[in-house]
Amino acid sequence: MKYIGLIVCLFISSIFSINAQEILSPNKKIKVIVTADNNSFGQVSFKILYKNKLEYIEVLPNSPMGIVRDDQQFTDNLKLVDASKVKEVNQKYEMIAGKRKLCANQGVEKVFKYVNSNNKPLNIVFRVYNDGVAFRYEFTDKIDALVNVIDEMTTYVFPSTTNRWLQSYTESYEDFFPFSDSGKANNNKQEWGFPALFKVNNNPVWVLISEANSTENNCAARLSNLKNPNEYKVSYASPRDNFKQTGVKTMLPWNSQWHTLIIGQLSDVVESTLIMDVSEPNQLKETDWIKPGPVSWIYWAYNRGSKDYQKVVEYTDLAVAMKWPYVLIDWEWDVMTNGGDIIAAVNYAKSKGIKPLIWYNSGTSWLEPTPNDRMLTAEKRAKELAWLKEIGIYGIKVDFFAGDQQDMMKLYLDILKDAAKYQIMVNFHGATVPRGWARTYPNLMTTEAVYGAEWYNNKPTLTNKAAEHNATLPFTRNVIGSMDYTPVTFSNSQHPHITSYGHELALSVVFESALQHFADRPEAYNSLPVEPKEFLKKVPVTWDETKLVDGYPGEKVIMARKKGNQWYLGGLNGKDEKQTLKIDFGFLDKANYKLKLIKDGVNDKSFDVEIINVKKGAVLNVECLPRGGFVAVLEKQKEKN
C-alpha cells in the first residue's frame, strides 16, 4: 500500500513540475510561477510571490495571459512545446539623465514556447529582476503580409484588500493618482493609465505596473477593471476619428512591448530603473551635444506663449541672472511682435550666452496654437530641423499629440531620430508617459504626461490638491522617467497655490527632469532671499544616485539625490496640517558632513536656514508647515590630519 502512495506522490509531483515552472530573481526575493502545460491546450497564467523576511507573500494570484490577432488567437488554446533554461541577463550602461548615472540590466530570463490549436507559435519571455518582473509576447514565424494584433488577455489580479493609487486614463495622462481601496473610478469607464501603484493585501509590498520599450510596431496600452475591480486587464489604444485601427498592424516576426512590474519595498519602487533596463540600448553614435539643464519658461505666468518679444528678453535675462543655460521660447513665436521676431529673440539669447529652445505643435491634435504644421511629416521635419540648426536652436518642445495609437508611437520615435540627426534635444508635451525611449534615444530629455503646475492656469482644482498630488508623484509618474512638471513657483498664476515656499523650492530636487523648466516670473526669483536663490542657481538636474529616505504616497516624501560629492535632499509635506519629517542619514558614507538646511520659516512665504554637522546614522527632525517642505545640501568634510 505504501508503494501505491509513493507512486501517487511521484505522479502528482511530476504533474506539478509540468504544470508550473518557477523563475527566481538573482537575490531570490521574487518568485514567478508560470503554468506551462505540455499535455493539453489551455490558458497560460502566472503568479508572483515576494519574500518578506522569511516567507513568501503572494503578490499576484494566478493571472491570465494571452494575445489575439485577427487571423489567430493565442488565449485558451495554448500548449507548451518547450521551455528554455534560465539564462543570465547582465548588461551595464550609462544614462545621460535620470535618477542614476550608472545602471545595470541585471536579471534572469526564461522563454516559454507555445503553439495554439492551429499549431501557430507564440513565445512568452519572462525576465525576473531583484526589483521586478518584465514579460512580453513574441510571434516568431515569418509572415510578409500585415497581421493585426488586436487585443491581449493579460490581466493583473490583486487581492481585494489591496490599496491602490491609479490615474483615470486620459490621452495626455494629466490627472491625479487618488488613493482607493476598492478599485472603482468616479466614472463608469474603469480605465486607468500607466503607471499604476498597488500596495498588496495589507503587506509592506508594493507593485508599480507600466510598460517599456514600445516601438513603431506597438501601440500603447492601458488597464481596465470594468468586469472585476480587482482584475486589471491590459487593453490597447482605441481607434480615433482619423485613425480607425485597433491595436497594431505589423509583419511577423513581432514582439510586444515589455509589460513591467516593479516590486518590493517602497524604496525599491522609487529607485528602480527597470523601465530603462529592459529598453533598447542607446542608438546614437555621438551624445556629447546632449546637455541637460535648468530652463526659464514664459508660459506659466501669463497663460500665453511667446508672441511678445520683450517677454522673451525678460526671461532670457532671468536665465542669465539665475545661471540657467536655457530659455524656452513657447508657442506663438511665429507671430512674435513688440520689438523683434523669432530670429531677433534667438540672437538676443545667444548674445547673452543663453541657449534657446523652441515650441512646436505636433500637428495631430489641438491645432489652434501655432506653429502647427512643421513636425508631422519627415519632409517637413527635415526642412524645419535644418533651419533650427542653422539659426542656433538647441531643443524642441513638441506638444498636443493625438493619443496612444500605433501611428503616434511611430511619430514620437521619428521625431527623436530626426532631431538627433541635427543634434536637437526633445521635450514631449501633451504626450504619452515615458516608455524607456530616453535610454534608446537620449536626446529625449523629458516628457510632460503629468498634471503639473501649468494647471494653475486652467482650473482652481490644483490649489487645494497640489500638496498631496506632489507627494504622490515621486511614487508613481516620476518613477518611470523624467517629468516636466514645470515646478518651483512662488507667485500666483491665474489660480493661487497654497503650498509653502519651502515646498515649492523642494520640488527642484524631489522631481526629476533633464530639462527642469522653472516657471515663475523673473521678479519672483529675483526677490528671493539669498540662500534659496543661490540654491536654485546651483541645483543639478541630473543625478549620480537617488535614494528614497522616507515617504508614503500623498502624505510625505524625502528624496536624497547625489551629484559628485554632494547630496541634495528635498522633503514635501503632503498634508494640510503640520508634520515632522524625519531624515535618517543611514545612506551616507562613514564621514563627517556639513548640512545646509533651507526649510519653512514662520509662515508659508518665508524660509529658515540652519547649518548642522551630521554623520551616517544620525537622525534629524524637520518641522514642516501645512503643505510645507525643505531642501538641504550635504557636503562631505575633509578629514583632519
Strands (E), 130-204: 132-152, 155-157, 163-168, 179-180, 191-199
| Count of Cβ atoms closer than 10 Å to residue 94 Cβ | 12
- Residue 15 pLDDT > 60, yes or no? no
Calpha distance 602→258 (Å, rounded):
49
Give the tens place of pLDDT for each residue, 179-235. Answer: 999 888 777 789 999 999 999 988 899 999 999 999 999 999 999 999 999 999 999
Give the tens place of pLDDT for each residue, 281-326. Answer: 999 999 999 999 999 999 999 888 799 999 999 999 999 999 999 9
Q: Across residues 355-366, what is the average pLDDT?
A: 96
Give the tens place of pLDDT for each residue, 181-192. Answer: 988 877 778 999
Calpha distance 445→427 (Å, rounded):
6
The per-residue pLDDT for 4 is 45
- Residue 443 pLDDT > 80, yes or no? yes
Domain with CATH 2.70.98.10 in the chain: 2-277
Q: Across residues 113-138, what is the average pLDDT?
A: 98
- Answer yes or no: are the C-beta atoms of 384 and 398 closer than 8 Å: no
Model confidence at 88, in pLDDT bands (50, 70, 90)?
A: very high
| Count of Cβ atoms closer than 10 Å to residue 376 Cβ | 17
- Residue 352 pLDDT > 80, yes or no? yes
Q: Across residues 76-91, what is the average pLDDT?
A: 96
Q: Which residues pair with 627 in a beta bridge?
A: none
Give the tens place of pLDDT for each residue, 70-82. Answer: 999 999 999 999 9
> Angle CA(501)–CA(502)–CA(503) in degrees, nearest 5?
90
Q: Across residues 161-175, what is the average pLDDT?
A: 96
Give the tens place of pLDDT for each residue, 479-538. Answer: 999 999 999 999 999 999 999 999 999 999 999 999 999 999 999 999 999 999 999 999
| Count of Cβ atoms closer than 10 Å to residue 162 Cβ | 22
With H, G, I as helix, E, B as strand and everything else as coil, classify residue 134: strand
- Residue 146 pLDDT > 60, yes or no? yes
Percentage of the chain exceeding pLDDT 90: 91
Calpha distance 199→205 (Å, rounded):
6
Mode of pairing for the β-strands spanning 258-264 and 132-152? antiparallel
Give the tens place of pLDDT for each residue, 251-266. Answer: 999 999 999 999 999 9
Q: DSSP letter at 78?
A: B
List C-alpha distances in Å: 172 to 110, 165, 447, 452: 35, 18, 11, 11
CB within 8 A of 244, min separation 6: which ones?
Answer: none
Domain with CATH 2.60.40.1180 in the chain: 453-474+494-511+538-641
Taking domain 453-474+494-511+538-641, whether its CATH number is 2.60.40.1180 is answered by: yes
Q: Across residues 463-472, what is the average pLDDT?
A: 98
- Residue 613 pLDDT > 50, yes or no? yes
CB within 8 A of 40, min separation 6: which ones?
Answer: 79
- Residue 5 pLDDT > 50, yes or no? no
Nearest Cα neighbor of 362 from 376, 380, 381 is 376
Architecture per CATH, 2-277: Distorted Sandwich (2.70)
* 114, three cell numbers: 507555445
Model confidence at 6, in pLDDT bands (50, 70, 90)?
A: very low
Q: Find the farthest-apart pair of alpha carbons in the chain and give their distance in angstroms, rounded.
A: 100
First to last CA, the chain: 80
Q: What share of the chain is helix, strand, coil (3-state, %, to 5)?
A: 20, 40, 40
Model confidence at 54, in pLDDT bands (50, 70, 90)?
A: confident
Q: DSSP letter at 588?
A: S
Q: Across residues 379-399, what is the average pLDDT?
A: 98
- Residue 590 pLDDT > 70, yes or no? yes
Calpha distance 364→3 (Å, rounded):
72
> What is the pTM for the complete model shown?
0.95
Model confidence at 17, in pLDDT bands (50, 70, 90)?
A: very low
The per-residue pLDDT for 10 is 40
- Residue 239 pLDDT > 60, yes or no? yes
* 244, three cell numbers: 480607425
Nearest Cα neighbor of 25 from 277, 279, 282 is 277
Q: Which residue has the higher pLDDT, 359 or 39?
A: 359
Q: Across residues 127-151, what is the average pLDDT?
A: 97
Helix (H) or strand (E) holding 623: strand 619-624
- Residue 349 pLDDT > 50, yes or no? yes
The per-residue pLDDT for 16 is 39
> What is the overall mean pLDDT for the chain?
95
Model confidence at 641, in pLDDT bands (50, 70, 90)?
A: low
Q: Across residues 433-461, what is the average pLDDT?
A: 97
Nearest Cα neighbor of 236 from 149, 140, 139 is 149
Calpha distance 218→232 (Å, rounded):
20
Calpha distance 620→537 (Å, rounded):
26
- Answer yes or no: are the C-beta atoms of 44 and 36 closer than 8 Å: yes
Calpha distance 216→200 (Å, rounded):
34
* 216, three cell numbers: 513603431
Q: Which residues pair with 42 in a beta bridge?
A: 78
The per-residue pLDDT for 1 is 42
Calpha distance 180→292 (Å, rounded):
36
Calpha distance 587→132 (Å, rounded):
22
Calpha distance 419→280 (Å, rounded):
18
**Torsion of the alpha carbons at 351, 352, 353 and 358, rounded to the nearest 10:** -80
- Residue 7 pLDDT > 50, yes or no? no
Q: Across residues 538-546, what is the average pLDDT?
A: 98
Taking domain 293-449, whether its CATH number is 3.40.50.11540 is answered by: no
- Residue 31 pLDDT > 90, yes or no? yes
